[in-house]
Amino acid sequence: MTRQEILTELKKVLSPYTLEKDALANIDESTNLITDLKINSANLVDIIIDAESKYNIEIDYDSADKMVNVGGCIDVIEEKTNQQI
Amino acid sequence: MNNHILNHLPYKSTFRFIDNITSLNENGVTGDFTLKQDAFFYEDHFEGNPVTPGVIITEIMAQIGLVVLGIFLIMKEPGKDISTDPALYPVLTSTDVSFYKMVLPGQKVTVISKKQYFRFGKLKCTVEMLNSSKEIVARGTFAGIIKHIDLK
């Protein structure tokens, strides 16, 4: 998967957790999940769990800490899915 | 046997809504509470016609279903002891509850909570409340965290 493909899929994962639909449509790697998308910080855990089941990966504490912006989420998903191959 | 965990609850007197924990393990908790006839909210909700407010039902479900189980799970983690850190407080992060029956003063309710997950410090549970006739009073999904908060 390219980073762009992951970003497109990530939008679907984030969608249930944000009301900022315009901001979501225009996300890039620097978009912050909490300040830009106004996601409840406790829902980051649900986003991690949804991403795990979508990509069949396991995300640990250290990786979860990086998932504050879209670029960080893509880094983690890219790294974990590559480990499977 | 499980009631020792009640000593760790931060709620006191009029805002403590747990009498007994009858079952408690990593996957869930069951507990009960009897609404006091003279609880502060009955005087005004409603005047001359006391009914337990939905927000109190929600709080009872959260205290038994989420906070008790959350403290239990956190105390099982190495190096975590809620009794030595007085600034640890439970924080409710989301609820989604449906109500089916009224609860009147003096009624005993039982709360049954099943863990959906406990990860990254967040606990999410499916919680039901039953009355003494085993009828469903309320059912919902609750999530929360236990957080270090310096209130001063």
Q: What is the DSSP letter of B32?
A: E
pTM, whole model, 2 decimals? 0.92
Beta-carbon contacts of B116 under 8 Å, excluding residues fewer than 6 positions away, are: B124, B125, B126, B141
The overall average pLDDT reported for chain B is: 93
Q: Is the pLDDT assigned to residue A85 strictly greater than 80? A: no
Three-class SS state of A76: helix
Rounded to whole angstroms, how far apart are CA atoms B121 and B114? 17
Chains A–B, number of C-beta pairs less than 8 Å apart: 21
Q: Is the pLDDT assigned to residue B46 strictly greater than 80? A: yes
Q: For residue A29, give its domain range.
A: 3-84
Inter-chain CB proximity A42 and B117 less than 8 Å? no
CATH number at residue A30: 1.10.1200.10
Inter-chain CB proximity B122 and A64 less than 8 Å? no
Chain B residue with minimal CA distance to A62? B120
Cβ atoms of B144 and B136 within 8 Å: the answer is: no
Other C-beta atoms closer than 10 Å to the C-beta of B132 total: 11
CB of B77 within 8 Å of a chain A CB? The answer is no
Q: For residue B125, give its domain range.
A: 2-148
Rounded to whole angstroms, how far apart are CA atoms B114 and B128? 9
Q: Which chain B residues touch A40 with a CB distance below 8 Å? A: 93-94
Alpha helix (H) residue ranges in chain B: 54-62, 69-76
Inter-chain CB proximity A42 and B144 less than 8 Å? yes
pLDDT digits (tens, 9 = 90+) for A35-44: 999 999 999 9
Three-class SS state of B84: helix
Give the pair of three-digit tokens for residue B80. Answer: 């975590």
How many domains, in total, are found in chain B?
Answer: 1
pLDDT at B148: 79
Burial label for B99, CB within 10 Å (0-12, 13-18, 19+), is middle
Q: What is the DSSP letter of B66?
A: I
How many domains, in total, are found in chain A?
Answer: 1
Q: Which chain B residues touch A46 with a CB distance below 8 Å? A: 124
Cβ atoms of B126 and B86 within 8 Å: the answer is: no
Inter-chain CB proximity B120 and A40 less than 8 Å? no
CATH number at residue B21: 3.10.129.10
Rounded to whole angstroms, how far apart are CA atoms A66 and A56? 19
Average pLDDT rounded to a whole number, residues B69-95:
84
Rounded to whole angstroms, how far apart are CA atoms B62 and B111? 9
Question: Which segment, B5-14, B112-121, B141-150, is predicted with the most confidence on average?
Answer: B112-121
Measured in angstroms, the CA of B48 and the nearest CA of chain A are apart by 40
Inter-chain CB proximity B119 and A43 less than 8 Å? no
Q: How long a stretch of residues is chain B?
A: 152
